[in-house]
Amino acid sequence: MFNPQAELIQTPFGFAWPAHRMCLHPGASGEFSVVRWTAPVSGSCTVKAMFTGMSTTPAITDVHVLHQGSSLFHGWLNLKGLPNTATFSQQ
């Protein structure tokens, strides 16, 4: 889900949802959350992604960026002392 508002939203789940940010959560049986983006025109572009855990009790999770089924990036949040944020940028 996307927060289209100009201000953050206090959620009943114990975290603040920043303005203009997307929030994802796995399915009840651990299914992946998926976001798909299609370029509006052909050519090259730069893709930037930042993954940040939103829970007040940080959970361990994996994050991925794929292009046509091939992995461009995979990372972890909060695994064995890793930070609660992972970033990706590639042209």
Is the pLDDT at 7 greater than 70, yes or no?
Answer: yes
User: What is the distance between the alpha carbons of residues 3 and 23, in angstroms, rounded to a whole number?
Assistant: 8
Across residues 7-21, what is the average pLDDT? 85
Of 50, 13, 19, nearest to 35 by C-alpha is 50
Across residues 55-81, what is the average pLDDT? 86
Model confidence, pTM? 0.75
Buried b (16+ CB within 10 A) or exposed e, 6-39: eeeeeeeeebebeeeeebeeeeeeeeeeeeeeee
Predicted confidence (pLDDT) per residue in 23-46, tens digit: 888 888 988 888 888 888 999 889
Sign of the C-alpha dihedral computed for residues 18, 45, 78 and 69 taken in this order = positive
What would you report as the CA-atom Rg of the chain, rounded to the nearest whole angstrom? 15
Across residues 59-88, what is the average pLDDT? 89
Is the pLDDT at 51 greater than 80, yes or no?
Answer: yes
Q: How far is CA 75 from the centre of its chain?
A: 11
